[in-house]
Each structure stands twice: as structure tokens, then as C-alpha cells.
Chain A
Amino acid sequence: MTDETDLKPPPRPWRWHIAVFLAPAVLVYTAVMIIPLFETLRLSFFNRADGQTFFVGIANYARLFGDPRWAASFWNALWNNAYFFLIHMVVQNPLGIALAALLSVSRLPGRAFYRSAIFLPTILSFVIVGFIWKLILSPLWGVTPSLLDLIGLRWLFAPYLGLETYALTTVALVSVWQWVGIPMMLIYAALLTIPEDLIEAAEIDGITGFSQFWRIKLPLILPTIGIVSILTFVGNFNAFDLVYSMQGAMGGPNGATDILGTFLYRTFFGFQLQGGDPHMGATIATVMFGIILVVISIYLFIIQRRMRRYEF
């Protein structure tokens, strides 16, 4: 009996070094992320009139959803955001997977070059990407009309960025062009971790080529695809810069490219003769935060928990 008590480890001394090493990150993160987050929430419960700031409860939210004009702008921006995200899910991620699958083919000459070339746009600034594509697509100076002419498809050209029907799709595709390198890299890395013996076993069973991709590789990289999707979602619902640099703060033409980010910017900081309204701006920011939080929670609690990593 006494032996057992002797075996118990002695009480650990308080490990103060953990607190010391965590402190800088905790302090900085609290100062630049957590406090502003709560401050934004607080701002959204106040309003300002006649030079006085007073507590209004959820009146700003009621205005955002209840006032027909605010609600129209909000739902328009939210719908545009959803569409923006949809384009990324339909074009960017499958493209990323396909490119990663191609790159992981073992006998591909110039693989390193393709990998870098496709990844390159992600390190460019939004402003540069927006500016370059505006020039490329310009009906006046752009190369698009003449290139299309070269292959006999001149009739396909339209001032894409200036027409309500095409503007948002065009901007979304430019964003896809810029970001496709990220899912490609992540999925490429995941494909590389698939053990060689698993592939060999598949080949012995006669599963090769496309069917090998669909039946062996794809299920194994599903968790990574999940992560990529959630990253895409967060990125898209926070998007602002590309639309702002290509289409301006009004999200023209006629609000066709107005997303939550530009709507927030216009409301918070003001635009032209319209003065800034920090309280309504904070309300929109809080709603955006809420949307992102809810979707991520759903993903974490319902989808991520069901996924199993394959153990080898």
C-alpha cells in the first residue's frame, strides 16, 4: 500500500514559463482582435443624434432588417456574396483539385515551373490584380477583344465589367484566377502524404488512372477539401479589396457587385456626400461576423466531427 503512494509523482511546480511565453501573443491578440470585436458589438447598440451618443438597444439591427432601403441593400450584398462564394466553390476548388492531381502525376516535365506559375498570383496585391484585369478587359485598350478576334470569337466580347449581367461573375473569376494557387497547394500537399504502398495495393487490384483518383485518392483528401472550403468561405465573406479596386465603393454597375465588404465600407466611413455612420457600420460588421461564425460552427460541429482521418 505504501508503495503506491510513493509511486505518485511529486506535485509539479507551477510552470510559470508557459504564461511568460504565451503573454506576448495573448496581449497582442487581445489588443488588436478581441477588444475591437467587442467594441464593434458595443458600437452597434448605440446611435448618435444632435451630437449626443445614446444607447438604442437593437434598434440599429431592426433598421438594417426592417427599413426597406437598408434591407434591400443588405440582402443584395448578401446574395452577391453568396454568388461570389458559389463561383469559387464551383470553379476555383475543382480547378485546384484538378491542377493538384495533374501536378502529382510522377512523370510531368516542368512541374516546378507550373506549380510556381499558378501560385504566383496569390502573392500579388489586390490592387495590382484589379488594375491589370481592368486593363486586360478594357474595351478600349484591353487585349481581350483582339485575342478573341484572333480565334474568331470577337462576338463573345462585351464590356463585362460595365454590364450588370456579367460584372459579378467577371470579378469572381478574376478572384479565382488570383487564388486558385492556395487550394492547389493544400491539396497537392495532401496528395503527397498518401502512402506509396496504398497506391501500389490499388494498382495490384487493377485500379489505375481516373478510377484510382476517384476511388482511392479523393476520399483520402476529403478532410483537406473541407478545410479549403471553409477557408474559401471565410475569405469570400470578408472580401472587399478586389471589388473596391475594380468596381469602386458603390459596387457598380447599379449595385451588381456590391458585397457585404463594400456595403460596410460605404456605411462606416461614408462616401462622397454621404457622411460615415460608425454605428450602422458596426451593425453590419457584427452581422457579417455572425454569418461567418454560424457557418463555421455548423461546419465544425456537424461535418468536421464526422470526418475521420485515415490512420496508416
Chain B
Amino acid sequence: MTNRTSRTLLISTAIAAMVAGAGTAGAQETTLVIESWRNDDLAIWRNEIIPAFEAQHPDIAVEFQPAAPTEYNAALNAKLDAGSAGDLITCRPFDQSLQLYDDGYLADLTDLPGMGNFSDVARTAWSTDDGSETFCVPMAAVLHGFIYNAEAFEEVGVEPPATEEEFFAVLDAFQEEGTYIPLVMGTIDQWEAATMGYQNIGPAYWGGEEGRTALIAGEQALTDEGWVEPLRVLARWSDYLGDGYQAQSYPDSQNLFTLGRGAIYPAGSWEISVFENQAIFEMGAFPPPTAPGSDTCHISDHPDIALGLNADSPNQEAGRTFLEWVASPEFAEIYANQLPGFFPLIDAEVEIDNPLAQEFASWRADCESTIRSTYQILSRGTPNLENETWAHTANVMNGVETPEEAAEALQQGLAEWYGPQQD
């Protein structure tokens, strides 16, 4: 309690000082520091995003100070503990940020006027479990699908597939032709198999949101058909992967595809900008194939990145001003076009110039969207469902475990700590 009081005191003193400063010295400059894991985006923030904001708010200076993605969580936690973290905190989706909010590190942003620009679904990843409080402004989502080598498709004479059957027919065509590796993916990094494999094609089998929420409610189990079938399909994928795929890493896969040696790449939309810089051939994209007996396509439209406010920051007012701008369509448009593949979560119409990114975004209109099944609630305990999914999907693709065994192991691990799955 005393902690909170002293914090409030500190903040109010800071605000008072700021107001006083503004009163006497006129445009006193405030500097906001942004913590982020996107060190790839440094140039874009410095040259495009921040100048656009500063042009409207000359009294607020913004600094973007990213860390390496793998070190971000540990570094941020240490800084928050020590009280030396920046004013604005880039939020990971779901539990990582929820934990920060529960520990009092992130300010409540529910009453930020700009929040009205986002749907409840867009806010889920950064809201409390009951959805009543939101603590980060959603910035972007990433989509899953397949990127293909359009020139190879033309050469072999195949069309982008829409159904599971057509998908395997295309792979067979490439297998027979022999010039290209039909499917480019490796299993050594494990997350590729889970994220671009299981979470990519899975929603078509477990019925997207319906299956995902049923799993959280305990009405479905990971051993149900809808959850095992995608593992069976992934096991079939192994026949079409390159030689030695068990030791092929994620950068290996990216290079293999951009060098034009592969036909189809199970992708995350964040790869669009990377591939466009490297590949010298024309690329196209198609959504995950529909499951047999269904003609609805499902895509994983996963909230990935948001921006929150450090509750201890002395610059609360300026921070909220910046976040209000982040919640505007103007920011969404700059961000979506500077970083093709990161799609805005805002309810407004946003023009995207990049054709490949446009293709990905167009599926939102035709397909049903869902998020990665393991991210909300289900990865809170030990064993953690996300990491378990990595390991078991890779096992299935390496052929050391059958899809049924993998599903059984995943279900057992989940039931160990998750109440609704225990009976």
C-alpha cells in the first residue's frame, strides 16, 4: 500500500513539476524512451515514425531504444525491477504483459480515448482475462500462410492450391519434376514446426476460434480428431522437405527459399519484407488449405506487438499523448507500410502498398481468423503448452513420435496443471 502511495505521490509531483515547468518556461521538452525488442526496426522508427509524431508535438521528444529479441524479456524485467526502464514499453502478447500489469509495472490504459478504435478481439492479447482492463495499445498482428515461388509454379504448371488435396497434388508435382525442393522447412529450431506448421494449418481442422475457445473451456481435448489431424498432415509433410531437414535451421530455410531452390515456404507474414529484399524471383502467397469436407478457410491472425506505459514513468501525460497517437489510423498507416507483414489491428481502413502484404491482408475478408491456440491462458503453467508443442510437432515431423503419441503427451502435460482439462 505504501508503495502505491509513494508512487502516486511521485507521479503527481512529477506532473506538478511538468505543469509548473510548462507554465514558466513555455515549451519545456519532455523525452520519452521506448523499450522494444524490434532492433530490426530502429531505422524505421528514427526516420519515419518518430519524426511524424514530433512534427505534431514539438514539445515531446521520443527515443527508440531496442534490445535484442531474445534478451528483451530478461532485460526489461531487470530494468523494471531496478526502476530504470523507459517510459513506453513494447508489449508481448498475453501472459508476459499481463504479468507485468499484475505486478504494477504497466499503467491501466482502459480509459485512453484511442482504445475505442480497437475491437475487443484486437485488445484480447493485452487485456485482463475478463476483458475489463486494457494495458497496451495494440500495434500489429502477424498472419500465417504460404509464400510460393511464382516462377517455379509457372515452370511446373501448377496453380496455388486451395484445399488439402490440391496442396499435396502440387507438392507431388514438384517432387516428380525434381528441380525444386517442394516444401522448405526445417525442424532443428523446433518453433518453425509448431508456429509455421501446426499453428498455420491447424485452425482449418480444429475450426479456428471455436476449437480454440472450446479447448480453453475444457470442452475439447488435444486428443480430439480436430487437434490430432493437423499433426498427421504435418507428418505427411516430411516426405516433401529437403535432404537433412532435421538439421535445417530457420535461417537455412529462409536462405534456401530466397535462393530459389524451393517451391513453397510455410510463412509468417513478417517474412515479407525480408524475402522481398533477397529473392530475385516473383513471389505469391496463398492461405492455409481448407480441410477435407469444408470450404471455409481459416487463418492465424495473431496479435504480436503493442505499446504500453511504464506505471513508474515520470512522464505519464506525454506518454499518454504518444499512445493516443499510436492508436490513430495515421500511425497504423505509417507502420503497416514501413513494415509490410505487420498488419494493423485498428478498426479503420488502412491502405497497404506492398502487393504481397496486400495478398495476406485480403484473406481477412474471406477467411475466418483465429489466434495461436497455445498463447492465451494455456501456457501459464508447467509444463508450458507452447514449448511442449514445439518439441512434439518437431518430433512428429522427424518421425520419432506418431501424431497420436504426440497428442497424448500434449494433453497429459496440459491436464497436469490446467483445471478445466482435468476431468
Q: Chain A residues near B416 (CB, 8 Å)?
A: 69
Q: Are A139 and B244 in contact, with the CB atoms below 8 A?
A: yes
Q: Are B398 and A162 in contact (CB-based, < 8 A)?
A: yes
For the complex, is B189 an interface residue (Cβ under 8 Å from A)?
yes
- Contact B99 A273, beta carbon cutoff 8 Å: no
Chain A residues closer than 8 Å to B386, beta-carbon distance: 272-274
CB of B252 closer than 8 Å to a CB of A? yes
Asked if A248 and B242 make an inter-chain contact with CB atoms under 8 angstroms apart, the answer reads: no
Contact across chains for A140 and B256 when beta carbons are under 8 A apart: yes
How many A residues touch B, CB cutoff 8 Å? 31
- Shortest C-beta distance, A263 to chain B (Å), equals 13
Q: What is the bound-complex CA distance between A231 and B241, given in angstroms?
A: 43
Is A253 among interface residues, defined by CB-CB distance under 8 A?
Answer: yes
Contact digits for B365-379, partner A, Cβ 8 Å, 1 yes 0 no: 000000000110001
CA distance A122 to B245 in the complex (A): 31
Cβ–Cβ contact A162 & B187, under 8 A: yes
* B160 CB within 8 Å of chain A: no
**Neighbouring A residues of B187 by C-beta, 8 Å:** 162, 253
CB-nearest residue of chain A to B374: A273
A59 within 8 A of B: no
A134-169 interface code vs B (CB 8 A; 1 in, 0 out): 100111110000000000000000111111100000
Bound together, the chains give a CA A160 to CA B247 distance in angstroms of 7
Whose C-beta in chain A lies nearest to the C-beta of B71?
Answer: A269
Interface residues of B in 74-92 (CB under 8 A from A): 74, 77
A140 to B248: give the CA distance in the assembly, Å: 8
Across the interface, B74 reaches (CB within 8 A) one of A137, A248, A269, namely: A269
**A107-B366 Cα distance, complex, nearest whole Å:** 80
Please report which residues of chain B, range 163-209, place their CB below 8 angstroms from some CB of chain A when the two chains form the complex: 186-191
* Inter-chain contact B73/A134, CB cutoff 8 Å: no
Known: A255-B391, A272-B387. A248 touches B103 (CB 8 A): no
Provide the residues of chain A in CB contact with B395, threshold 8 Å: 253-254
Cβ A250 vs Cβ B390 within 8 A:
yes
The reply to whether B387 and A271 form a contact with Cβ atoms under 8 Å apart is yes
A290 to B205, CA, bound (A): 49
Q: For A252, list chain B residues within 8 Å (CB).
A: 188-190, 391, 394
- Answer whether residue A223 sits at the interface, using C-beta atoms and an 8 A cutoff: no
Residues of chain A with a CB closer than 8 A to B242's CB: 139-140
With a CB–CB cut-off of 8 A, which chain A residues contact B243? Answer: 139-140
CB distance from B304 to the nearest CB of A (A): 13
Measured CB to CB, the nearest residue on chain A to B246 is A162
Closest chain B residue, CB of each to CB of A256: B400
A161: B residues at CB distance < 8 A: 188, 247
Contact A138 B384 (CB under 8 A): no
In the complex the two chains form, is A253's CB within 8 Å of B252's CB? no
Distance in Å: Cβ of B91 to nearest Cβ of chain A: 14
Question: Which residues from chain B contact A272 at a C-beta distance below 8 Å?
Answer: 191, 384, 386-387, 390
Q: Which residues of B contact A275 (CB under 8 A)?
A: 95-96, 99
Q: B244 to A140, Cβ gap below 8 A?
A: yes
* Closest residue on chain B to residue A269 by CB atoms: B74
B233-247 near A? 1/0 per residue, CB < 8 Å: 000000000111111
Asked whether A253 lies within 8 Å of B246 as measured between CB atoms, the reply is: yes
Question: Least Cβ distance of B258 to chain A in Å?
Answer: 13
Q: Please tell me if the beta carbons of A250 and B391 are within 8 angstroms of each other in the complex.
A: yes
Query: Is B391 within 8 A of A273, CB to CB?
Result: no
Q: Looking across the interface, which residue of chain A has its beta carbon closest to that of B386?
A: A273
Return chain B residues, CB-CB under 8 Å to A158. Answer: 244
A121 within 8 A of B: no
B73/A270 in contact, CB under 8 A:
yes
Pick from B74, B249, B387, B394: contact of A274, CB under 8 Å: B387
Question: Considering the chains assembled together, what is the distance between the CA atoms of A255 and B190 in angstroms?
Answer: 11
Known: A138-B247, A139-B244. A253 touches B188 (CB 8 A): yes
- Whether A270 contacts B244 by the Cβ 8 Å rule is no
B8 part of interface (Cβ distance < 8 Å): no
How far does the Cβ of B184 sit from chain A's closest Cβ, in whole Å? 10
- A70 to B96 Cα, complex, angstroms: 22
Distance between B254 CB and nearest chain A CB, rounded to angstroms? 12
Minimum Cβ distance to chain A for residue B140 (Å) = 19
Shortest CB distance A20–B (Å): 34
Q: Which residues of B contact A270 (CB under 8 A)?
A: 73-74
What are 16 A-B contacts with C-beta separation under 8 Å? A69-B382, A138-B248, A158-B244, A159-B248, A160-B247, A162-B188, A162-B245, A162-B247, A250-B391, A252-B188, A252-B391, A254-B391, A269-B73, A270-B74, A274-B384, A276-B73
Q: A51-B102, A159-B244, A275-B95 are in contact. List 15 more A-B contacts (CB 8 A).
A: A69-B382, A69-B416, A137-B247, A140-B244, A158-B244, A160-B247, A162-B248, A253-B394, A253-B395, A253-B398, A270-B73, A272-B386, A274-B379, A274-B384, A274-B387
On A, residues with C-beta under 8 Å from B are: 51, 69-70, 134, 137-141, 158-164, 247-248, 250, 252-255, 269-276
Q: List the 4 closest pairs (A to B, CB-CB), nearest first.
A: A139-B244, A162-B246, A159-B247, A162-B247
